[in-house]
Structure formats: structure tokens, C-alpha cells
Structure 1
Amino acid sequence: MNWEGISAIWQREILTFLREKPRIISAAINPIFWLITFGAGLGSTVAIAGINYQQFIFAGIIVQTLLFSSIFYGSYLVWDRRIDLLKAVLVTPLSRQSIFFGKVLSGVTFALIQTAIILAFGFFIGINYTFASIGLVVLTVTFAAAALTAVGLTIGSLMTSPEGFQLITTFVIFPLFFLSGALFPLENLPAYLATLTAVNPVTYIVDALRGLLIGIQYFEVFENVLVLAGFALVANLIGIQAFKRMRS
């Protein structure tokens, strides 16, 4: 792989991101809006294992942000193809694999910036951090964002229109989020719902982050690590193949 080329792709994407101030503002406001309205609204009547509901869904809101920002990152690929900007990149000596990883690295960077904003707000709702927990959260978010960005790029490689991309990703994102335990505990679920949450890789991201942030965890640590690492690996392998076969 061409690390210099990967760095160049990353820098281009970062500069594009920094120029889009509405996107930055939205990334900061949306999760906080959810925590204040949805979390505080139900939090006045709901407590789970003695934990305030805002604190309980905090990990879920981080994952919601990851889902939307990382998967929708693939829409830039569709737009680049539409205006022939991607074609100019593909004719360079860079391999498609290097271009793909440059974009994944960019998606991870965006996700970490957004996560930092949400974590800062966590102080106001009583989330207590340690250096160890922050480090492990960053590591978890890095792997999760790498997997979800790869999913978005895979869909972007297959779609030829922004409308088609948005339609498909909507059908992907909402089931992944609402069936992940982001907003409800995983104990005592009906059998069909327990099965759906268990086969959803995003469930394990939520569970890992919740365990790190508030000490509530449903699965064993090794289960979360295994699923997250496997999800990131498989998503990127599929993404690379889709990107290589994509028509410019």
C-alpha cells in the first residue's frame, strides 16, 4: 500500500470536511439534542439498574452518531463519481485499495471528532471518565467507525445516484440502530427480538461502549472484542472488493 497516497487522500477529505461548517455544527448539535429531549423526557420516569436514562442511552447516542456519519460518508463517493472527480483520482498511480483505505481513515477521523464532542457533553449528565476508559472508548470507536465507513463505501460503490444511496442506507441504518439495544436493555427481551439483537454487530459496539462508560454490560468482553474485530475485518474486505469493481 502507498502510505503517502493514503495520507494525501486523508488530507483532501479532512479539508473538505472542515470547509463544511453546517456539517460540523450538525454533528455537534444532533446527539446533544437527542440526549436532552429523548433522554431527559423518558429519564424523568425511567431508570435502568439505578442508572439515569440519559446516562444509559449515552453509549447508544455515540453509536447513532457513528452510524449516520460513517455510513453516510459513502455518499461523497457517489457525488465524486457524478462530477467525475473520482475519475481524476482513479487515473493516478494510486491503487484502489490505497484510495479506499484513505477514505476509511478519513471516516474514522470524522467519527473521533464527533465522539470527542459527545464525550465532552457527557460531563454534564454525570458520566465519569478515567484515562483508561477514554483510551478504550477511542479504540472501540476507531474499529467501529472503520467497519461502518467501509459499509458506507461499499454501498456507495454500488450506487450510481445520491437518491439511491440515501434510500438503501436508510433501510440499513435504522434497523441496525433500533435493534442494537441503544435505547433499551437487552435483558428479558422477547425471543424474536433477542435473536435480532444478537445477530446485529452494532449491538456489540453499544454494549462495549456502555460497559466502558457506565459499567453496564450484557455480553462478555471477549464477545464484544471478537465481534467488533470480525465486523471491521469483514466489512473492509468486502468494501475493498466492491471498490475495486466499481465503475468510475
Structure 2
Amino acid sequence: ELIRFRQDKIRIVSALVQPVLFIFVLGTGLGSITGNEMEGIDLRTFMFPGVLATSVLFTAVFSAMSIVWDREFGFLREMLVAPVRRSSIIVGKALGGALVATLQGMLVLVLAPAVGVPYNPVMIATLVVEVFLLSFMLCAMGLVIAARIQQMQTMMGIMQMVLLPLSFLSGALYPISNLPGWLHTLVLLNPVTYAVQPVRTAVFAHIDMSDAARAQLNAPIEWFGWEVPVVVQLGLVVLLGVALLAVAVKQFEKAE
């Protein structure tokens, strides 16, 4: 995975296309309606952490699609009959895909100064960890889906059907405060939400804003009145990622 990423220059450049469109095109367009600010914060500044988190969605999950490609061309069978534990192949695939997705996600940090987000070593280190955990969970999910799919076209259709709801229901592009009850419930049921929120918290910790703006734009996640700490949110992401990876390993151990 890392070798492919290093050799694919177009892939590196294209990693910035979607974030640029979201932040500067969609953000500027919506800004014409909201007056370019939300609670005194530039709309593009608010959107930045959400776009950073969701920028790895497609990269992480689609990295698992190469399993289907390998199956179609017979390379997967060669790997499965090799004198290597199948679990090692799947774990390596998940970790490699997560690392590549994290590297692509970090490219989005190039846009930070343009939207008023200052560079800070602590913030960057925190974001790297959080984005990697999200990428790992998504790679594991992609491997679970890819385990039984035989054709690339089928895989792409399923991925689109899964990724769009995960993206739009994560609260990446809008505050989760004051949402309608049904939408708020769907957001809380989305595992990606528990990675987007910590990313936004890490970024907003280094932005000068009022307490009122912080409460409105970065409202805490609550379960029945209990404010869920960031460490618990990330713990959920890790647990889900490990559980999905275990399922993927189990499925591939049964594969012919």
C-alpha cells in the first residue's frame, strides 16, 4: 500500500481536490447565505476539521477494494495459499490502508492557514492519531464488506451506498446542536461521528473563539444527559475497528 501511494503522484494531488471543493467552493457558496460566519467564526474555519476527518473516508474504505481486485485476477488466491498466516495478510492490509489514508488526510493540513487554523505541534500530533484511528476502523469495515464480494463493480456500488450516509450523518459539515430529534439520533448512531467530534475539538482548542461559539459549534456528544469524553469516543472507534478486523480475519480464514 505504501509503495503504491508513493509511486502514484496523481493520487497524492487528487487527495486535495475534494477538500478544496468542500472548503472553498461549498464553504464560500454557503457563506453567501450565512454571511460567511457562524457565531463569529468563518464558515470555512468551521468546516475544516470535518472535511479533514471525512477526507479519509473514501481513501480508507477504497483501499480495501484492492482485495476484490486481487480476487478477480487470482492474486488473492496466491496470497492465501502462501506460507503466511491469513490473519497477518488482513491485519497488514488494514494497517497499510490506514497509514496511507492518514498520510492523504494530513495533506489537507496544507489548507489550514488559508482558513484561519494555526499550525501547532500538539494539534498536529493529536490529529494524526485521531485520523489514523478513524482510517483503521474504516479499512477494517471495508475488508469486512470486501470479504465475500467477487466483482469490483458490486464493491463500488456498495461502498457508495455505505460511505455517503457515513459522511453526511457524521456532523462534519454542520453543528450537531439543535438538530431535529430523528437526525440527532442518526448522527449519534454513526461511528464516524465519534472521530469527527474529537478532530473538531482538537482544532477548535487552538482557535480563538468565545465560549458561546464553542458551545454552539462544537457541542459535546451526550448519552442520556452524560457528556461523552473525547477519550471514550476514540475508545469506541478503536473497539469497533478491532471488532471489524476480527470479523474480517474470520471471513478470510474461511475463504477458498
| Fold conserved between structures, TM > 0.5 | yes
* Structure 1 match to 2:208: none
Secondary structure of the equivalent of 1:37? helix
Question: How far did 1:112 drift?
Answer: 1.9
Question: How far did 1:228 drift?
Answer: 1.8
Report percent identity of matched pairs.
32
Supply the distance in 1 between the matched residues of 2:255 and 2:9 (Cα, whole angstroms): 30
1:218 maps onto 2:220 in alignment: yes
* Structure 2 match to 1:90: 80
* Structure 1 match to 2:158: 168
Q: Show structure 2 runs of 5+ residues with no match.
A: 206-217, 222-228
Moved more, 101-110 or 174-183: 101-110
Q: How many residues align?
A: 235
Within-5 A mapping of 1:1-248: 13-46=1-34, 47-215=37-205, 216-219=218-221, 220-247=229-256
Question: How far did 1:233 drift?
Answer: 2.0
Supply the distance in 2 between the matched residues of 1:24 and 1:36 (Cα, whole angstroms): 19
Supply the distance in 2 between the matched residues of 1:206 and 1:49 (Cα, whole angstroms): 20
Could you give the per-residue CA deviations for residues 127-183 of structure 1, whole angstroms, max 9, x where no partner exists? 123221111111111111110011111111121001110111111101111111111
Question: How far did 1:217 drift?
Answer: 4.8
Cα pair 1:180 1:203 within 8 Å, conserved:
yes
Supply the distance in 2 between the matched residues of 1:236 and 1:43 (Cα, whole angstroms): 40
Q: Which amino acid aligns with 2:172?
A: A
Could you give the per-residue CA deviations for residues 164-217 of structure 1, whole angstroms, max 9, x where no partner exists? 101111111011111111111101111111110011111111111000012335
Supply the distance in 1 between the matched residues of 2:186 and 2:154 (Cα, whole angstroms): 26
Supply the distance in 2 between the matched residues of 1:225 and 1:74 (Cα, whole angstroms): 22
Q: Show structure 1 runs of 5+ residues with no match.
A: 1-12
Q: Which amino acid aligns with 2:75?
A: L
Supply the distance in 1 between the matched residues of 2:220 and 2:17 (Cα, whole angstroms): 29
Secondary structure of the equivalent of 2:16? helix
What RMSD over aligned residues (CA atoms) do the two structures have, in Å?
Answer: 1.6
Moved more, 175-184 or 209-218: 209-218
Runs (4 or more) in structure 1 with deviation over 3 Å come to none
Q: Which amino acid aligns with 1:50?
A: G
TM-score (norm 1): 0.89
